[in-house]
């Protein structure tokens, strides 16, 4: 985990590689954090793959590009 706010409310994970395996691992780390707000920050070209990784991990949150100019909300899939 790259950052966790002082109160534990927001967990941020930065993954620059774009590798599917690493994105999946980052999403699992966010899930394990237990924070109610989860942010996965990736290069803009990898935002689609990051959304897929978060859905695969079964978590909701936000996917942001590295500059913070774009963000996509991810809702967890209902089971």
Measured between alpha carbons, how far is residue 40 from residues 32, 66, 79 in Å? 13, 10, 22
Q: What's the order of all strands across the beta sheet hosting 3-4?
A: 3-4, 10-14, 37-42, 61-65, 71-74
Residue-wise pLDDT tens digits, 35-67: 999 999 999 999 999 999 999 999 999 999 999
Q: With a threshold of 0.85, does the pTM exceed it?
A: yes
């Amino acid at each position: 985990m790259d950052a966790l706010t002082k109160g534990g409310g927001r967990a941020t994970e930065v993954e620059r590689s774009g590798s599917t395996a690493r994105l999946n691992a980052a999403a699992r780390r966010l899930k394990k954090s237990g924070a109610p707000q989860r942010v996965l920050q990736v290069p803009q070209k990898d935002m689609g793959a990051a959304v897929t990784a978060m859905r695969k991990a079964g978590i909701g949150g936000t996917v942001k590009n590295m500059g913070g100019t774009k963000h996509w909300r991810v809702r967890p899939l209902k089971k």
